[in-house]
Amino acid sequence: MDRDAERPRERGPRVATSEGLEALSGLRGALERSSTAERVADALRERIIDGALAPGARLSEEALGQALGVSRNTLREAFRLLGHERLLVHRFNRGVFVAEPELADVVDLYRVRRALELDAVRRADRSPKGAVARVGAAVEEGEAAAGRGDWWGVGTANMRFHQALAALADSPRTDEVVRRLLAELRLVFHAMAAPRDFHVPYVALNRRIHRLLEEGRLEEAAEELSDYFDVAERQLVEAFSEEPEGVGEPDPR
């Protein structure tokens, strides 16, 4: 075989990059054409996260492919994308299903989040500029949503809050891992009874943590966050224990 594979040619054509052009680099993401598989994955992710596709539901390749107007092969690529995010589980020869987090998953989710987010908060003094401000923005978003009684919006803002906390670590990999954990957590919320009462109380807590961050009292912020996790996890575990879960899942056949 080709052991010694060809490396991409170095020293490519070096275009005259005036510094002004650098400003455009931000647009790159927008211009970047995405593959159909990715767009399909985006669409499905949305449906899963907002609950249109319930946990445990099976996603038929043929039916979905026809509905979305893509081929089975492309759809499979999208499935794999979401499988990696743990939103779908792929069972060999059996198909893909929307993931059904169980109690053990909830506990595990919080274990990893605790490690990563606490570490991020503790090193917030070395965070890039604007990172703490973004935490504040998420707090305000949550307060606004709570003000107009939009509890789903509160949940979304809450996610953004924690994503912003993770971003304090200034680490792309931390960002990615936490994003995945939070998406999974959304799935957990669908399995519990009263998401309204779950999200809302944390608005005030978020505000407190942000204030501590702004004042540079990182250790206190970390402790506050740790308590936060304790409470939230316990609440989720309770909700999961009493909940008989998955009642009346009609299998469409």
Partner DNA sequence: GATCGGTGAATTGTTCAACAATCCTCATGA
Partner DNA sequence: TCATGAGGATTGTTGAACAATTCACCGATC
Task: Determine which residue in the list 46, 50, 67, 128 makes contact with its own copies, applying CB under 8 A.
Answer: 67
Contact between 58 and DNA by CB under 7 A: the answer reads yes
**Rounded distance between C-alpha atoms, residue 41 and residue 96, angstroms:** 13
92 touches DNA (CB under 7 A) = yes
Full strand arrangement of the beta sheet holding 95-98: 58-59, 95-98, 88-91
CB contact at 8 A, 101 and 186: no
Which residue of 3, 28, 94, 173 would you call a contact of DNA, by CB under 7 A?
94
Q: Is 42 in the site for DNA (CB under 7 A)?
A: no
> In whole angstroms, how close is the CB of 93 to DNA at the nearest point?
4
Interatomic CA distance for residues 157 and 145, integer angstroms = 8
Site for its own copies in 69-108 (CB under 8 A): 73, 76-77, 80-81, 84, 91-92, 97-98, 100, 102-103, 108
Binding to its own copies, residues 112-141 (CB under 8 A): 112, 114-116, 119-120
234 contacts its own copies (rule: CB under 8 A): no
Hey, CA dihedral for 117, 123, 126, 129, is it positive or negative? positive
User: Which residues in this chain contact its own copies in the complex, by CB under 8 A?
Assistant: 1-12, 32-35, 52-54, 56-59, 63, 67, 73, 76-77, 80-81, 84, 91-92, 97-98, 100, 102-103, 108-109, 111-112, 114-116, 119-120, 169, 171-174, 177, 181, 245-246, 248-251
User: Which residues in this chain contact DNA in the complex, by CB under 7 A?
Assistant: 9, 13, 33, 35-37, 58-62, 69-74, 76-77, 90, 92-96, 251, 253
